[in-house]
Amino acid sequence: MENKIEFIAKHGKWFTVKKLKIDENVEDIEIARLLASIDETVLNKIPEYLPFDIEKLNIIADEIFPKKKGRIKEEDIIEALKKLKSPATTRKLNEITTSKEGKEILKILLNSIILERLGIQTRISPKVIEKYIEKERENGH
């Protein structure tokens, strides 16, 4: 069996294929780029399949830290994280679900939304890996 990575998803109108045949010419960083791409695809799709009102979650996120352009100050980060971890925010999640496990899922999604808005990335973007590969090749590596 050949070495390869294949990710195929089809559900309703959603269809995606991500493949890479791995031979001696494929660098590990190219595998990382594909895996990051699969990760990004999956993470973007998960909320669509959860039984929660994601629009309400976005409203809660707006109350914690609205989308902003420009530089984010340290105070903004501190204040947003305080709000994110507050009992008031947990109570607001009760409007979406009363399930303990459901609230845990929503908190994780909310954490991701807020951190991204604060400019704190927790995932590696395939685009960043692509830029890295290009720069390394330009520099002869």
Q: How far apart are CA 64 and CA 121, in angstroms?
A: 18
pLDDT in tens, 60-78: 999 999 988 889 999 999 9
Is pLDDT at 85 greater than 90 in this prediction?
yes
Under the banding of pLDDT at 50, 70 and 90, the label for residue 140 is confident
Q: Is 58 exposed, middle or buried (0-12, 13-18, 19+ CB in 10 A)?
A: middle
Specify the DSSP class assigned to residue 68.
-
For the entire predicted model, the pTM comes to 0.87
pLDDT in tens, 31-57: 999 999 999 999 999 999 999 999 999
